[in-house]
Amino acid sequence: MSDLFSIIIAISLTINLSVIILVLSRKRLERYFDMRQLSCRLKQIILYLLSVPVITTCLTYIMVVPKPLSIVQGNSEELRLYLVKNQTIGRATQYGNSIVFVIIAAVWFAGFLFFGVRYWYRSSHLLRKLEIYSKNQENCDLVELMEQLREEIGVKFPVELVISEVIEVPFVQGLRRIKIFVPKREWNPTNIRMILGHELTHCKNNDYFYRRLIFWLCAIYWFNPFLSFFADYFIEVNEMACDETLLLNKDEKEKKRYIMLLAETALETSFLANEVSLTGYRESSIERRIYNIMKDQKRVRSIPCVLLSAIVIAACPLSALAATSGTVRVQDRIAREIRDLNTYEEEQTVEESYVEEVETQSREARKVVKRIHITPRAAATVVCDLDYKDSMVADTVEMPASSTIRIILEADNTSDHFKAGIEGEGTTRSVSSKNGSIDYKFHISKAGSYDIFIESTSSNTIHVEGSIITR
């Protein structure tokens, strides 16, 4: 669950970086592109945003999953090792399925139902009722006009014209069966031609399909305000692109007539704000659309357009790499901190179960039967057989202050008894085995020379194995 949560964070960061890049380059994009070209670029970004979960999941897999390494030994035996990469909370700790992540998942699902499924159900229910109270246009003049415009604009699929007494704003609806809903009123022939031309332009550009995509993206990432901003900007640019297409090569008189129609229709209220309508998504965008209609159309230069497109397109996967890498590294650091803290607590618990004996008086010489070599900040393997009072001693080692000597030993039988410890700076510190084993860390408070020893306290011969680690 925690790994899925980290991927969702990486996805959100990727989307945020992409939107921030778009915001920072918005003015420059509008300078070099007209709205028709910019609308196409934004549609490409929508498709990219749909692929972000796949990209971030693949990058996370590459950065997290251990990589197997095969080493062939001299006798042709293959030794398989795994190169551990970045740790995750789910793989390295016991908190992967913590109740916190379950609660977060439940909150996200509740938000998805409220902001996505709930609105989709209400919208679908309203459209079904609208179709009941509407009827397909049988006026031969309007049908003939729409068919003529459909051929002129280049819409290659059938489009139904529906007249409704309920609605006040024309709009397009449908993916497989596309319908243009128009309010029932006495329309000026020029105005109805402009309205149908605008909506058919939306049909040709598949704008309803992309608005459905952006709607579900906003529903899935309902907690991300950056995506909502992108949706508003896309719809605004989308409407201006249709305005430009419809008014291409038109004179000032026709543009002013279209502006009057736009302003008149904008006064009406649409109960389906997310549909593809003449007035767009927000009333605040009308002023910008009017300004865009009246300004002189710029001549688009090809080289800056290509370069700018390449920069924007390249920035998208780079943002995914940066967001995923950052998320994985943060999670790796958290996982390692949790693991180190748990290890420290386990060591403290183990150490508290042993009683450290401290002797300051000199004692008789040990009966040393074996010596091993050890150096500071190293590990040595211990394998020895000891009779009663026999000892195994390691070489004298110079230990700095605040260092540690950890002794991990285990005998063959739980009934075997022995002790291990260190001698140095006039004191002897040792611990006795419990159930035939020792796992204890001696903390060095004063720098000096120390001898490490293991001594049998059993009457019988014992076999001891383990390791000594100095740090």
The Cα 467–Cα 451 span in angstroms is 15
Q: Are strands 276-277 and 418-424 parallel, antiparallel or unpaired?
A: unpaired
Candidates 230, 240, 228; CA nearest to 278 is: 240
Per-residue pLDDT at 82 exceeds 60: no
pLDDT score at 48: 81
**Domain positions in the chain:** 2-97+302-329, 127-294, 357-470
Per-residue pLDDT at 284 exceeds 60: no
Query: By mean pLDDT, which of 21-30, 121-130, 365-374, 458-467 is the weakest?
Result: 365-374
pLDDT tens-digit readout, 230-244: 888 888 888 888 888
| Mean pLDDT within 296-315 | 65
The Cα 92–Cα 343 span in angstroms is 12
Looking at per-residue pLDDT, the higher value among 74 and 172 belongs to: 172
The Cα 410–Cα 382 span in angstroms is 10
pLDDT score at 154: 86
pLDDT band at 279; cut points 50, 70, 90: very low
pLDDT score at 110: 92
pLDDT score at 453: 84
| Mean pLDDT within 279-292 | 64
pLDDT tens-digit readout, 143-171: 888 888 888 888 888 888 888 877 777 88
pLDDT tens-digit readout, 201-253: 988 888 889 988 888 888 888 888 888 888 888 888 888 888 888 888 888 88
Highest-confidence segment of 74-83, 221-230, 286-295: 221-230
DSSP 221: T
DSSP 176: S
DSSP 183-210: E-S---HHHHHHHHHHHHHHHHTTHHHH
pLDDT score at 113: 92
How does the average pLDDT of the chain come out, rounded?
77
pLDDT score at 337: 74
Give phi and psi for 327, each to the nearest 5: -65, -45
- Cα R_g (the chain), whole angstroms: 38
DSSP 434: B
Give phi and psi for 171, each to the nearest 5: -160, 165
In Å, what is the CA distance from 44 to each residue of 35, 210, 240, 400?
14, 10, 17, 62
| Mean pLDDT within 65-71 | 59
**Topology of the domain covering 357-470:** Jelly Rolls (2.60.120)
pLDDT score at 304: 63
